[in-house]
Structure 1
Amino acid sequence: MIENLSLDQLRVLVTIAETGSFSAAGRRLGRVQSAISQTVAGLEAVQGVLLFDRSGHRPKLTEVGRLLVDQARMVLASAARFEAVAANTRAGLEPKLALAIDPLVPSAPFIDSLRALRDTFPDLPVSFSTEGLGGAERRLRQGDAALAICLLLPAPADDIVALPLLEMKLKPVIAPDHPLALLGRPATRADLEPHVQLVLSDPVTIAGPSYGLASARLWRFVDLQRRLDMLLAGFGWCRMPEHLIAQDLAEGRLVPLSLADDLAAPGDLIIYAARMRDRPLGRSGRWLLDNLKARFSA
């Protein structure tokens, strides 16, 4: 019965499995062998199963015993995490850190900061959400994320504290067999208008702000990878973050699309670390923000 089950009984069971005998488990736990035997007998009686075969020289785990040892390990690990979260909260650490990241944001620059966060707060539960364009800011506003690594278009709102981290360059590209790739000169607005432009849109407000539109025919996507698939297949042109297409350009699956001067991109996109002004970050959130700031300022 679960109400009569104790963590101590599970700890004894796991220790016997790890050390190979009741006497060795007793030495590790600082108990006499009779106390270990009594704990196991009590566990077997309450649960109504035989955990050890005692017919040989040494007790051996039964089949159900081996299965329950695995279950006991998981329960003990969960209990350890329970205690760690409580201890962290007493020390001023938030129970969890929820992060939201825009799909356009490159992962590589943030890996070192996230690794350092894990090493500094090893018991901190961290959750990530990556949705379509605008999803990270929406998570932040809804209170589902404490910190967002995201674009803020057209500019950060007054109720958001935003730290600029890096600039992301967008490059016009096209499949090499697309008619626009064969012009031999910079494409004008008249050249672009009959061809499809592949546009990344907010999945919630698809008719929301759009930037750098130059074609009369728009195919809108909320999935960045799906848009890349359509780009590689030659369905249209678009501006893509350089880090996402570097290999495709190097291997010839995409080629740069030269645009006339009046079609220049609206500027590099700025990636921010953002929080709501009225919701200060907890201890780990402040630590991560300071770490990001130090890395990118360097």
Structure 2
Amino acid sequence: MSVAFDRCRQLSHSLGAINFRSFPSAGVIVLGNLSLDQLRVLVAIADTGSFSAAGRDLRRVQSAISQSVATLEAIQGVALFDRSGHKPQLTAVGRVLVDQARMVLASAARFESVAAGTRNGLEPELALAIDPLVPTAPLIDSLSALSDTFPHLPVTFSTEGLGGSLRRLRSGSTALAICLLLPDIPDDIAAYPLLRIAMQPVVGSEHPLASLGRPATRGDLESHVQLVLSDPVDPGGPAYGVAGARLWRFVDLGRRLDFLLAGFGWCRMPGHLVSAHVAQGRLVGLDIENDPTPREGLTIYAAHRRDRALGPAGRWLLDRLRQRLSSP
């Protein structure tokens, strides 16, 4: 057994049953038998390369640094430093625990930041839900700006199947949704139009409908598979734009596009996602007789529950999205 570890055992015995949680007035923040200050000292030594340099960095005498490390070693029952050489070197377990200490300190800093933000009126968390039809680029731009403006705000984000964003709003698990609201805006939802998404009926270039040569009637479409976006929780719920009995249901646009390109059926897709495929001849646009889809496109809304006002960060993001995306 090393001399360092013997010292740890001796110090542990001399400390006896001391519990650092007995001294709240000393300003020591503890996690079980650990204090954040001990972890700061450990990280400072690793960063500066020596006990003396860590003392200078933390503005403490070297003996206080050594005592903090010895206490930490004694409590944990491990040797963090090999003291056999000219200057102490981290042991193998010491190197691992330094990494753990960094994560704990970062988590504690986030904890304090969330608490401070809440004291100042900021919501403790902002939960977002996004429909699959929402364009990605402007959303990423707005979320990046949100992170810059509220760097310590925890943000949770989920992409939902059709109908999922509204369901999460109503359950209270989401504060702000970017979504379709069909056929109308529900009375319990406050909604703000952001943009319109043009929906293009398309089919693979080798599909029989691609060579129809005239507007497709409902009878033409009924005999072919239609690839539809569906609510995974309620697949038998309201359906919009369905023109046939042979339905293949999808939750995300990417997988549906794969099947579309493979020639398995037809569907309406956001124009910005298929324009390049149409230009390259991989997809063919369909003209549908009496197509019920609005020619001006489907409206994407930012929405929240009327009985749950957005916090400062949620309002900021809503304003940013409206400025960035809103149609005149």
Same fold (TM over 0.5): yes
1:111 Cα offset (Å) = 1.9
Task: Classify the secondary structure of the residue corresponding to 1:69.
Answer: helix
Candidates 43, 57, 72, aligned match of 1:14: 43
Partner of 2:15: none
Q: Which residue of 1 aligns with 2:293?
A: 265
Q: Identify unmatched segments of 5+ residues in structure 2.
A: 1-18, 20-30
Distance 2:67 2:103 in 1: 23
Give distance in 2, aligned partners of 1:247 and 1:154.
30
Q: CA deviation at 1:228?
A: 1.9
Question: One-letter code of the match for 1:164?
Answer: P
**Which range moves more in the overlay, 162-171 or 176-185?**
176-185
Aligned equivalents of 1:151, 1:35: Cα separation in 2? 61
Task: Confirm or deny: 8 A CA contact 2:126 2:313 kept in the other structure.
Answer: yes
CA RMSD in angstroms comes to 1.6
Do the aligned residues in 2 keep the contact of 1:188 with 1:263 (CA within 8 Å)? no
Contact kept in structure 2, 1:211 and 1:266, CA below 8 Å: no
Which digits, 9 at most, give the CA deviation of each residue in 1:19-41, with x for residues without a partner?
00111100000001111111111
Name the CA distance, whole Å, in 2 between partners of 1:187 and 1:31.
81
C-alpha separation in 1, matches of 2:285 and 2:326: 31
1:206 and 2:235 correspond = yes
State the TM-score, normalizing by the size of structure 2. Answer: 0.86
Aligned counterpart in structure 1 of residue 208 of structure 2, from 179, 196, 210: 179
Counterpart of 1:93 in structure 2: which amino acid?
Answer: L
Between 1:127-136 and 1:224-233, the stretch displaced more is: 224-233
* Aligned counterpart in structure 1 of residue 145 of structure 2, from 91, 99, 116: 116
1:189 partner letter: R
Q: Amino acid of the residue matched to residue 165 of structure 2?
A: A
| Larger CA Rg, structure 1 vs 2 | 2
The one-letter amino acid of 2:113's match is A
Once residues 253 and 322 of structure 2 are traced to their aligned partners in structure 1, the CA distance between those partners, rounded to angstroms, is 27
Structure 1 residues 49-105: Cα deviation after superposition (integer angstroms, max 9, x where no partner): 111111111111111111111111111111111111110110101110000101111
Structure 1 unaligned segments of length 5 or more: list them.
none
Q: TM-score, normalised by structure 1?
A: 0.95
The total of aligned residue pairs comes to 297
- Deviation, 1:297, is 4.2
Secondary structure class of the residue paired with 1:271: strand
- Written as runs of structure 1 = structure 2, the 5 A alignment for 1:1-298 is 3-260=32-289, 262-263=290-291, 265-267=293-295, 268-297=297-326
| % identical aligned pairs | 72
- C-alpha contact 2:193 2:326 (8 A) present in aligned 1: no
